[in-house]
């Protein structure tokens, strides 16, 4: 089990079933296991799921960025061994590796150590020549982790800009347009550094809809947005002082770059549906791209659930938001916890809902929370009102007191948020 407090949370049959389904999702997106299972070298040829990706090369380099890249490097070293010439990864955690440098950075906000790591990745990419191959694994979180500001901007400037942009309600897509045009590594700049080498990028998507140029702000992907669009976003959110640069637009840079989706929320959702069916539920796919204000999404999920044939399992994925505009001093919490708390206000006795972060961190050390009638009873006994905690965006403290927070081993990829709602 990847859920560390499974036994403490599984206090009845329905909770046990729900947590078993959630754990199946986590098992399906274990980075190390997925790479070891799906990639193999035969001589100097790399195969993915039985299909040859490339063969023969002079030097083999490995680059990774984002949350999960250390596990990817660990697996790739075991697969490729001495074929690797050199490599580096930037992640929020790391450890010893033989051929690949493990670099640790900060997230969600950039830092000087992130800049140094990004420079190391670019330095290795720049070494590669026309007969060399670069294998890259790109995960969510790389926008901040591989931070290398353009022009005269300092890292502290970017940190201030991104913090303020979040407060002003800038959508993640808009933020990534800004990032790509303020960066020397995103928006295809890593591909530019690697030219004329061959680049094979395996992308683990945390973006609903799996638009590859958005994942980690697309370091190896052609950027379809322009400097004009970045300026428009900046003007919309009153950042008129920013000075942008155009991202690489020369087609030759991308002629030898192959970007492909390696893992996404599809694998997690399928695992949940299969496990739900195995446990006797009628699984129904809601959506893979759910968006909206977190606490209202939870209530919407319950309305959809009530139309299904019981015993029903509603399963979905996406990325909700928490509106912190005009919130003076928000407390501790995350969007998945707010999805659950919003549902709690409209929950019926035969229902359960869990919204959870696929990478085990819902803006806190918790991945999410179990919400059912037990939660209601415990809150009532302790005199806790979910509305008050929601209004203060301090919902972690609520679920901490009801003992409903879910804690998970941080070994999985971020493939967006996931949701499970059961009706018995």
**pLDDT tens string 278-332:** 999 999 999 999 999 999 999 999 999 999 999 999 999 999 988 876 777 889 9
Question: Which of these CATH numbers, 2.30.40.10, 3.40.50.10180, 3.30.56.10, 3.50.50.60, describes 43-263?
Answer: 3.40.50.10180
**pLDDT tens string 155-173:** 888 888 888 887 788 877 7
pTM of the complete model? 0.92
Class in CATH terms, 6-29+266-423: alpha beta
**pLDDT tens string 180-238:** 999 999 999 999 999 999 999 999 999 989 999 999 999 999 999 999 999 999 999 99
pLDDT at 125: 99
* Percent of residues, the chain, with pLDDT higher than 90: 88
Residue with tokens 């100097």: 44
pLDDT at 297: 98
Helix (H, G, I), strand (E, B) or coil at 42: strand
Q: Are 106 and 64 in contact (CB under 8 A)?
A: no
* Among 2, 20, 18, 24, residue whose Cα is nearest residue 374: 18
In degrees rounded to 5, what are phi and psi of residue 417? -85, 155
* Among 324, 390, 338, 391, residue whose Cα is nearest residue 366: 338
Torsion of CA 61, 199, 28, 8, to 10 degrees: 60
Residue with tokens 């967006």: 416
Domain ranges across the chain: 6-29+266-423, 43-263
User: In which band, very low, low, confident or very high, does the pLDDT at 64 lie, cut at 50, 70 and 90?
Assistant: very high
């Amino acid at each position: 089990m990847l859920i560390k407090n499974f036994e403490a949370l599984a206090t009845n049959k329905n909770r046990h079933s729900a947590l078993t389904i959630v754990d199946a999702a986590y098992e399906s997106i274990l980075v190390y296991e997925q790479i070891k299972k799906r990639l193999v070298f035969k001589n100097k040829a790399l195969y993915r799921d039985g299909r040859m990706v490339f063969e023969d090369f002079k030097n083999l380099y490995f680059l990774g960025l984002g949350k999960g890249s250390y596990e990817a490097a660990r697996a790739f070293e075991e697969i490729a061994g001495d074929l690797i010439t050199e490599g580096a990864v930037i992640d929020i955690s790391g450890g010893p590796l033989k051929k690949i440098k493990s670099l640790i950075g900060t997230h969600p906000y950039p830092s000087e150590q992130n800049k140094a790591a990004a420079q190391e990745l670019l330095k290795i990419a720049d070494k590669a020549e026309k007969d060399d191959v670069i294998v890259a694994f790109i995960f969510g979180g790389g926008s901040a982790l591989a931070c290398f500001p353009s022009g005269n901007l300092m890292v502290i400037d970017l940190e201030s800009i991104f913090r303020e942009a979040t407060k002003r309600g800038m959508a993640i897509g808009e933020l990534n347009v800004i990032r790509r045009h303020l960066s020397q590594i995103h928006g295809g700049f890593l591909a530019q550094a690697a030219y004329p080498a061959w680049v094979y990028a395996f992308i683990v998507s945390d973006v609903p809809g799996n638009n590859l140029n958005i994942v980690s702000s697309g370091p190896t992907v052609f950027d379809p947005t322009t400097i004009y669009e970045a300026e428009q976003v900046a003007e919309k959110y009153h950042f008129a002082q920013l000075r942008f640069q155009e991202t690489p637009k020369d087609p030759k840079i991308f002629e030898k770059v192959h970007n492909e989706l390696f893992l996404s929320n599809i694998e997690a959702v399928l695992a949940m549906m299969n496990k739900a069916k195995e446990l006797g539920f009628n699984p129904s796919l809601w959506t893979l791209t759910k968006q909206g204000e977190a606490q209202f999404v939870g209530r919407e999920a319950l309305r959809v659930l009530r139309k299904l044939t019981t015993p029903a399992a509603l399963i979905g994925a996406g990325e909700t938001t928490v509106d912190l505009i005009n919130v003076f001093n928000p407390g501790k919490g995350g969007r998945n916890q707010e999805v659950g708390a919003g549902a709690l206000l409209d929950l019926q006795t035969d229902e359960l809902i869990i919204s959870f972060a696929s990478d085990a961190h819902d803006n806190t050390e918790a991945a999410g929370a179990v919400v059912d009638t037990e939660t209601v009873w415990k809150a009532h006994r302790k005199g806790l009102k979910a509305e008050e905690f929601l209004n203060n965006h301090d919902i972690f403290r609520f679920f901490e007191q009801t003992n409903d927070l879910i804690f998970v081993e941080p070994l999985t990829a971020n493939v967006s948020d996931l949701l499970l709602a059961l009706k018995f």
